[in-house]
Amino acid sequence: MSSTDIPLSSGLGALTTGNGSPVASNQTSQTAGYYGPVLIQDFHLIDKLAHFDRERIPERVVHAKGAGAHGYFEVTKDVSHLTCAKFLSEVGKRTPVFTRFSTVGGELGSADTARDPRGFAVKFYTEEGNWDMVGNNTPVFFIRDPIKFPDFIHTQKRDPRTHLKNPDMQWDFWSHVPEALHQVMILFSNRGTPVGYRHMHGYSSHTLKLVKEDGSFHYVKWHFRTDQGIKNFKASEAAQLEGANPDFATQDLMEAIERGDHPSWTVYIQVFSEQEAMQMKYNPFDVTKVVSQKDFPLHEVGRMVLNRNPENYFAEVEQAAFSPSHMVPGIAPSPDRMLQGRLFSYPDTHRHRLGANYLQLPINRPISSVANHQRDGPMCFTDNGGRRPNYEPNSFGGPAQSPHSQEIAAQFHVDGLVARHTYGITDEDFDQPRALYRLLSAEEQQDLVDNIAGNIAKAKLVFQRSILPHLKRIDSEFGARIETILKQANPEL
């Protein structure tokens, strides 16, 4: 706050306790005499301390460090032939949004310039409810089955014995789950250390559906391409900033918006039919793979602009709750296994972190009306349904199902044997990482080799040996270059 921001006089009224009673003194506690003990009857003191003790809610297990901003999404190209979603119904239509960017593995106080994927979550406040596009700044992810998500995240957190980050854990895990190496290569490229949040793309990563009124659908992948241009830090630059300014990305976003330099992203989709999905070489529901833009080019949909900073970080950024299961008519999930797991896991963690009524918080509340028979729970901010029945069907009226609003998302064919259908590791798991490596410039390849080798070198030799065959399977020259650097540091390798 600058000196010009300091008000000349207070116009905010009297200071009160939590129950609204005026506070006589906010400087001194009640005591039994000048030298006597503090009295428990001093409600203002107790109220103030007790609330202070509870100011911190549980931080997110993943995506704890983040920043956010308000803005809008505007449709720029007609996609009404693909979906009945009203916010996509016509060119020029604007929908308010709130976007939260984040790192994934670090704690709330960690550096936002660390080598890590970046969360890219957008809440669309549509007239039919909120749609949350919950993605990352990478088009793929490390794993493809949700049963492995807790295991993966544990490897990115702290060692349960030492409470230190442990390269042994991550390289041990990745050597057993080599489908992760596509994302690992992106992570250890310079795209793993973007220059703030304004200079990176965003992706749904998962395949989703756009659904028409008659229930027919197309599969889509969403792409948010930065209009500011891609900019990345070299490893040395990112490491320097971790110490010099661990809040660089947060500060960069806030200050850009404050000075009127509003960041924007042009929004595209890749579109393919159910039949085309079944004929693809790579499973489009495997989030460790991309769908070829050569075969399925990007189609422009709209533009997202962020033009307003939050007034209060806790209320608007920390309490913001995104979930892939928050969808609206015209948008539906695909059979992507990781997506299916996230449909449950995200709202479940919000209920733990924020409470059962987290959707009543202003930042999460839809602009459309909410009417159902959910009642009670901690911190209910509404009239809790008043005297209306809390069950349905009933004889007294109230919110009822809408026959005209078909559950169109559910209309697709599925059959098969109920079993644990395991993804096997095949040559196809190494095709796209190989193509990525060969797309990089010579300088980018060298940075990738140096970054990976530098991190692997921190792990025990047994884990260095276990990951090298997978790296060579991606590309023999790529693996050999990493092996050469590792042997220089550890001749016994």
413 DSSP 8-state letter: -
Peptide bond into 393 cis (omega under 30): yes
Residues in Cβ contact with 222 at an 8 Å cutoff, skipping those fewer than 6 apart: 133, 135, 203, 204, 208, 267, 268, 269
Q: CA nearest 104: which of 147, 56, 155?
A: 155
Would you list the DSSP string of 362-408? TTT--SS----S----TT--S-TTTTS-SSSS-SS------TTS--G
For residue 382, which amino acid is it?
T
- 386-424 burial, b at 16+ Cβ within 10 Å, e below that, comes to eeeeeeeeeeeeeeeeeeeeeebbeeeeeeeeeeeeeee
Neighbours of 488 (CB within 10 A): 11
What is the Cα–Cα distance from 341 to 250, expressed in whole angstroms? 30
Active site residue 63: yes
Task: Return the H-helix or E-strand segment holding 71.
Answer: strand 66-75
Hey, what are 381's tokens? Answer: 């901010």
Which residues does residue 265 pair with via DSSP β-bridges, in sequence order?
A: 226, 304
What is the Cα–Cα distance from 392 to 373, expressed in whole angstroms? 8
Neighbours of 350 (CB within 10 A): 21
Neighbours of 284 (CB within 10 A): 22
Active site residue 364: no
Burial class (CB in 10 A: 0-12, 13-18, 19+), 106: buried
Hey, what are 378's tokens? Answer: 């901690």
Which residues does residue 66 pair with via DSSP β-bridges, in sequence order?
A: 102
86 DSSP 8-state letter: G
- Side-chain-side CA neighbours of residue 202 (13 Å): 26
Which residues does residue 269 pair with via DSSP β-bridges, in sequence order?
A: 222, 299
Hey, what are 223's tokens? Answer: 């792409």
What is the Cα–Cα distance from 411 to 214, expressed in whole angstroms? 10
Of the residues 44, 70, 130, 136, only one is catalytic, namely: 136
Of the residues 44, 63, 182, 326, only one is catalytic, namely: 63
135 DSSP 8-state letter: E
Q: Cα Rg for the chain, rounded, in angstroms?
A: 26
What is the Cα–Cα distance from 3 to 274, expressed in whole angstroms? 61
- Side-chain-side CA neighbours of residue 215 (13 Å): 9
Which residue's structure tokens are 């709202």? 347
Q: Give the active site residues.
A: 63, 136
